[in-house]
Each structure stands twice: as C-alpha cells, then as structure tokens.
Amino acid sequence: MTRPQPEYFIRLEQQVWQALVDGDADADRRLLADGFLGVYPDGFAGRDEHVAQFANEPTVAHYSIDHPHWIALSDDAHLLCYEARFRRPGDDDLHRMYVSSLWQLVDDRWVNTFSQDTPAAT
C-alpha cells in the first residue's frame, strides 16, 4: 500500500469541518471511528457526543486549516496538527484553536480516532 501524503489527511480533516458547516451528522459519523475520543476545553466526547453537538444544524459558518504539521506514526496511523480559524453562524468573531487529529486505517478505511482542540491565546 502506498503511504498517503499529508494533503490526503488535510482533505479528510476538511471533510469533518465541512460536515460542521453543512450540519451533516451522517458525514461526521462516517469520518469518526466507533471508539473516537475528543479532548476539548469543556471535557471529553465520544463519537456520539461529537455527532450530537450539531443535531443536523451547522455549528460552523466558515473555517480554514492553517500551518499544518504531519507525523507518520506508522503505516496505518498519522497525526495531523494545525491551527484552525473559524466563525460560528451568526457570529462575526474569528475563533482560533490548535488541533491534533489522529487518523488510523481501520478495516481498509481511514477514520479519525482522536482529536484534541486547544484554544489559541488571545
């Protein structure tokens, strides 16, 4: 199997963000592993909690993935770290955070198994 390049994981991460823009719970669920763990400023979340956060309503109006860093942990595990900038629907404030997102090959499909969001200093 050819090892995917960093751009591949950025595209996967963009699909997660686009699900938040579209309010698409099904797309979000497909991208996250059954055992997904999210670590956020307000605590831990599994896949069901991550998916339920938007209940088919958009939670992000616009986003960008900036300054990506990529670490190949193994042939089937890759860590993508980046700065995210985003706006919420109806909110003009630009939010910034640093994201670490672990993608793993499970049953011949790349899924997000872990994500940690760290708010950027203001």
41 lies in which domain range?
6-119
Residue 61 domain-assigned (yes or no): yes
**What confidence tens digit (pLDDT) does each residue in 97-115 have?**
999 999 999 999 999 999 9
Q: What single-letter DSSP state applies at residue 51?
A: H
Mean pLDDT confidence for 71-84: 97
pLDDT tens, 6-58?
Answer: 999 999 999 999 999 999 999 999 999 999 999 999 999 999 999 998 776 89
Number of structural domains, the chain?
1
Long-range contacts from 74-77, C-beta under 8 angstroms, 24+ separation: 75/1, 75/3, 75/105, 76/104, 76/105, 77/102, 77/103, 77/104, 77/105
In a domain, 18, yes or no: yes
Q: Give residue 56's pLDDT.
A: 67
pTM exceeds cut of 0.85: yes
In a domain, 85, yes or no: yes
Residue 104 lies in a domain: yes
> Residue 114 belongs to a domain with what CATH number?
3.10.450.50
